[in-house]
Structure 1
Amino acid sequence: MVPIPKGTVLLIEEDLRLQQYLAVTLRLAGYEARFARDAMEGFAALQTYHVDVIAINFRLPDMNCLQFLETLLLDKNYHNAKGVPVIVMTAFPIALNEKWRLYRMGVKAVFLKENGFEEMVALLQRELDTHGKVLPLHARPRPQKAQPNYLSYLEE
């Protein structure tokens, strides 16, 4: 019997050997994996599949991660993916100002590939455990104004 996956990860990474390695790693950890080689394939996958987490390489052949996130946030074609957690992978250190931009754009973690992919699986699990349990501000119900008991007759 095939176990139900813990969640679906969209991995946007141009290195095909790394994609294959991560496919095995993610499946062994219990995740379904969808792959894209560049940002445009990533956008197409977001319109085709439901994904729970996006793991994206910082430097892609057609655009960098910051440009991808800006498009994701501003383009109405991707409104279904606005609340999806994003984890950024990089083989090189990222400048501090770029990291701050990533975090301000909603990135949950920046992961250095040389640290090994066990850390990435742990980050994915953390995001899947918390995603959907904490609603973004725009989706939270507005609190009802509490009326003092002595005004309860107004509700009748």
Structure 2
Amino acid sequence: MAILPLVTWPDERLTTPCTPAMADAATRQLAADMLETMYAAPGRGLAAPQVGHMIRLFVMDTGWKEGKPNPRVLLNPEILWRSDTLVTGPEGCLSIPGITAQVPRAAAVRLRWTDLDGQEFHEILTRFDAICAQHEADHLDGILMLDRVPPENRVGADA
């Protein structure tokens, strides 16, 4: 495994939609490297474009900082449903160092993805899992957290 260099804003790869990921040996290695990179950063989620790979892959582990590790590798994730209830809270991004923004997100999402063995999963995510998954899925569509901040709250958050 290896710690990969992070792509930082305003690199155009961060605003470019990604292509589908394949469940193959190269993707398996990339996912392992991404998990190592995420933990070293230290973050709770990391999308492939954040390390320069323009495929629909992200990793997340929302519990490891609290001693409850649960690493996940999600290929070709798709948010099928978002709750009408929004929560707004602080978000940071490994690709936008030093910036935290109050970002509104759906409180719950239904997510579909495949794993590294090609098996399909569906799950309703809530709380921080839902927020993290939405943040990382946005990266795959070329959307940054700053794009989700209402204009009236952008003072000092964008350039």
Q: TM-score, normalised by structure 2?
A: 0.29
Higher strand share: 2
Structure with larger Rg: 1
Higher helix share: 1
